[in-house]
A and B are shown apart, each in its own frame.
Chain A
């Protein structure tokens, strides 16, 4: 493929993408404005008729319309509001049915409610839209978000243009073939991963209640609010405490893996039994353990009672609730980590152990100087994934304690869920999600720095 045809292709694809982005935005805006225009036109027409009946001056009527609807009445209606406000989407017969003698009825936001006796149900609904949402939506040629996307596409196209001139033909062909394979997965990632991620970043700087049209930009206010919220810091601390289950589980899992890393009868069955909790539904696990932790008739207290330990209110006490959830998590996760460690152990060549034996190394020294160093990549994997899933704990907390008692089990993802879906504050919840992302990124980088060194005995 020649550089020229490659460049032509790049320009065509970039132009189509940019045109699609702008057209999509314009279509969405136009659709919303058409709906609002119809509704506001009705409001305007009715308001003007009422005003005329009262003998109000047209200029005063327009000013009142602007004030009440938040809409640019002058742009919409022009010098003759009645005639020009009646857009194509509103049937003239409907306007004829308006009752001029009816007193305007106040709406919650102060706008007037016409058409109480109108027969067109959809239009009445549209008036409600205008009255309650403010109906202010001026058309912008290109919105900032669309502009940024167009700029990104254009930059990418420019870079490809330049690269096409430098790269040899074979390289260009290979790149094109590679992208033809990568294109669909990349699109999938863009739509289902990068898109939501970008939307989360966008929401973190806005205020949004999901059902409201308005998404006002609030800058860093959501983050400032988090910084001042003691409960947010408490949830971060609780989450960090919760992740202490990871090293505990790793130690247990490694011990189990060493025990079960043999080919004798019963090992497979034991491995299956230990692994089973991991493949069981977390909701089912939470419900069963909730009963086991019941202070009146739970199995945990019954067993403790046999050795004389008094009854403990596992999930009802601020001192024990988080510990109880950690206990359940260890029980659930130990099987999975054991399987990963087993795979790691079976990947260590026997020759190293033989050599150590010849050197007279004790079992402890063989474990310390052969097994552990060669398991380091597995340890790193289990640690990183464990910490990440630890920070994302939700189901057990949601099912077992809902963050209580006294916020002792309030963890960050539960707080995000509550803020978004219960309090309908998606901006604040997105800001929390971004902070969580930052914390996890930092922790993961530190773990790679500390444990990421490669061990090679060859």
Chain B
């Protein structure tokens, strides 16, 4: 009897469990979940969440899940692995530096044929920014936002030493004179405690200044460095840049590491550093200080060499769809949704970047009473596409370039010798094409 009762209970429980499992499977099967991957921090992620629900609301049964990996290196590893495994996120944020490698490997879906159908007017984007993601007629990501590199100056330091604020366009010599005048030993202990400028070994921080000084690291076609990196203009530009540390001593302790500890920002806030190169991506960090009146900051263009036009670099990111995405139509629609004016206006509140849609970017400039946004916007006119968006081997090139600054500043080697040596190394890297047998 007891055995029969037990058996009955077992059958009932099994049936119940089976029912629950089937119900769960049926529920899981209902609807589609689209995944968006990005490297947003928590503040940026909150802004994304603020508007993304609208996509699902207009499409019953569709849900959007935002996945963020704030460490960009880990983010990239994850995207590459998921694409290789055949399970890419439906939409993912693509940095300009990854475009050539992804396009060359045929990883990305060309979004141009669909742009009109999903209501994305490509002509609405800043043309310089769209060009970063364009190859011929194909567009491999819809631009999210961008930033040029400009120069930030601490107004309090300038005021303290009665030095006039820099104009919006200024020459290298004027900049150098200002940097020298701003470098002081204020307490008379024999050690300088205020410096004019910050020199960083990371190429993304100095490449724009190099261009503005008439130099470059690669030749225009991007296939060699010899003849361009070691050309007289580049020698002059590197000599001028590193001379700030070796000759003029207007920069604090040279930072020999690749990873920043944020020293330059801390020194800048505390008035120990008068000028630093910045991108819009640091605006969220500046804002609290500006709003609380703890620091007064101005922005201006990077100084340029007499006889050469002003120049800066444009860094951008955009939303891409993998060619092996599982829901292509929905993915493209979602990418379009994430770059439309509503999304860009929402995102602009975070101030991390300049919206890629020209109309929205202009609105942001008009709404800004401090005039700081205008400097960034005007700098776009002199902006150039970063090398990373043009050549597939840029990461290898970028890993070698800090050696130039290290050798010139730390070892005090001869500029021409160093540039000639590094140019040969870069030539070897650039000669090695993807898929080609290394010789």
Q: Which A residues fall within an 8 A CB radius of B?
A: 105-108, 115-116, 121-122, 124-125, 128-129, 132-133, 207, 209-214, 216, 218-219, 221-222, 224-225, 290, 294-296, 313, 315-318, 321, 399-407, 418, 421-424, 428
Q: Are B106 and A405 interface neighbours, CB within 8 A?
A: no
Q: Which of B87-120 contact A (CB under 8 A)?
A: 101-107, 109-110, 113-114
Q: Are A428 and B438 interface neighbours, CB within 8 A?
A: yes
Q: Are A128 and B109 interface neighbours, CB within 8 A?
A: yes
CB-contact partner of A225 in B77, B399, B438, under 8 A: B438
Q: Is B7 an interface residue (CB 8 A)?
A: no
Return A200 CB to nearest CB of chain B, in Å.
16
From known contacts A133-B106, A211-B102, A212-B435, infer whether A405 and B256 are also in contact, taking CB-CB under 8 Å.
yes
Q: Are B399 and A422 interface neighbours, CB within 8 A?
A: yes
Q: Are A422 and B101 interface neighbours, CB within 8 A?
A: no
Query: Whole-angstrom distance between the alpha carbons of A399 and B73 in the complex?
Result: 12
CB-contact partner of A423 in B83, B324, B395, B407, under 8 A: B395
From known contacts A128-B323, A405-B256, infer whether A210 and B103 are also in contact, taking CB-CB under 8 Å.
no
A-B interface, 10 closest residue pairs, ranked by CB to CB distance from nearest: A132-B106, A405-B256, A316-B256, A402-B258, A212-B105, A225-B438, A121-B329, A211-B105, A121-B328, A133-B106
Return B70 CB to nearest CB of chain A, in Å.
14
Q: Are B257 and A402 interface neighbours, CB within 8 A?
A: yes
Q: Are A212 and B437 interface neighbours, CB within 8 A?
A: no
Q: Are B253 and A295 interface neighbours, CB within 8 A?
A: yes
Nearest chain B residue, comparing its CB with the CB of A226: B438
Nearest chain B residue, comparing its CB with the CB of A124: B113
Query: Whole-angstrom distance between the alpha carbons of A214 and B105 in the complex?
Result: 9
Q: List 8 A-B contacts (CB under 8 A).
A: A124-B113, A128-B323, A211-B80, A216-B435, A221-B438, A318-B256, A318-B410, A428-B438
From known contacts A108-B135, A406-B411, A423-B396, infer whether A313 and B256 are also in contact, taking CB-CB under 8 Å.
yes
With a cutoff of 8 Å between Cβ atoms, the chain B residues found around residue A133 in the complex are: 106
Q: Are A221 and B109 interface neighbours, CB within 8 A?
A: no
Query: Whole-angstrom distance between the alpha carbons of A128 and B107 in the complex?
Result: 10
Return A298 CB to nearest CB of chain B, in Å.
11
From known contacts A128-B323, A133-B106, infer whether A122 and B328 are also in contact, taking CB-CB under 8 Å.
yes
With a cutoff of 8 Å between Cβ atoms, the chain A residues found around residue B329 in the complex are: 121
How many residue-residue contacts, CB under 8 A, span A and B? 131
With a cutoff of 8 Å between Cβ atoms, the chain B residues found around residue A421 in the complex are: 73, 76-77, 80
From known contacts A125-B323, A403-B258, infer whether A209 and B105 are also in contact, taking CB-CB under 8 Å.
yes
With a cutoff of 8 Å between Cβ atoms, the chain B residues found around residue A224 in the complex are: 438
Nearest chain B residue, comparing its CB with the CB of A212: B105
Query: Whole-angstrom distance between the alpha carbons of A401 and B201 in the complex?
Result: 13
CB-contact partner of A108 in B101, B114, B138, B434, under 8 A: B138
With a cutoff of 8 Å between Cβ atoms, the chain A residues found around residue B104 in the complex are: 212
Q: Is B439 an interface residue (CB 8 A)?
A: yes
CB-contact partner of B407 in A209, A313, A406, under 8 A: A406
Return A224 CB to nearest CB of chain B, in Å.
7
Q: Is B427 an interface residue (CB 8 A)?
A: no
Q: Are B101 and A424 interface neighbours, CB within 8 A?
A: yes
From known contacts A210-B80, A211-B84, infer whether A108 and B103 are also in contact, taking CB-CB under 8 Å.
yes
Q: Are B434 and A209 interface neighbours, CB within 8 A?
A: yes
Query: Whole-angstrom distance between the alpha carbons of A222 and B439 in the complex?
Result: 9
Q: Are A125 and B261 interface neighbours, CB within 8 A?
A: no
Q: Is B402 an interface residue (CB 8 A)?
A: yes
From known contacts A108-B136, A211-B84, infer whether A290 and B438 are also in contact, taking CB-CB under 8 Å.
no
Q: Are A129 and B323 interface neighbours, CB within 8 A?
A: yes
With a cutoff of 8 Å between Cβ atoms, the chain A residues found around residue B103 in the complex are: 108
Query: Whole-angstrom distance between the alpha carbons of A295 and B259 in the complex?
Result: 15
With a cutoff of 8 Å between Cβ atoms, the chain A residues found around residue B107 in the complex are: 211
With a cutoff of 8 Å between Cβ atoms, the chain A residues found around residue B84 in the complex are: 210-211
Q: Is B255 an interface residue (CB 8 A)?
A: yes
With a cutoff of 8 Å between Cβ atoms, the chain B residues found around residue A403 in the complex are: 258
Q: Are B261 and A404 interface neighbours, CB within 8 A?
A: no
Return A229 CB to nearest CB of chain B, in Å.
9
Query: Whole-angstrom distance between the alpha carbons of A221 and B437 in the complex?
Result: 7
Query: Whole-angstrom distance between the alpha carbons of A132 and B105 in the complex?
Result: 8
Q: Are B406 and A405 interface neighbours, CB within 8 A?
A: yes
Query: Whole-angstrom distance between the alpha carbons of A219 and B439 in the complex?
Result: 11
Query: Whole-angstrom distance between the alpha carbons of A318 and B407 in the complex?
Result: 11
With a cutoff of 8 Å between Cβ atoms, the chain B residues found around residue A402 in the complex are: 257-259
CB-contact partner of A121 in B138, B332, B436, under 8 A: B332
Query: Whole-angstrom distance between the alpha carbons of A121 and B407 in the complex?
Result: 53
Query: Whole-angstrom distance between the alpha carbons of A124 and B110 in the complex?
Result: 10
Q: Are B258 and A207 interface neighbours, CB within 8 A?
A: no
Query: Whole-angstrom distance between the alpha carbons of A399 and B393 in the complex?
Result: 24
From known contacts A294-B261, A316-B256, A421-B76, infer whether A207 and B395 are also in contact, taking CB-CB under 8 Å.
no
CB-contact partner of A401 in B257, B406, B436, under 8 A: B257
A108, A121, A124, A214 pick with most chain B CB within 10 angstroms = A121
Return B134 CB to nearest CB of chain A, in Å.
11
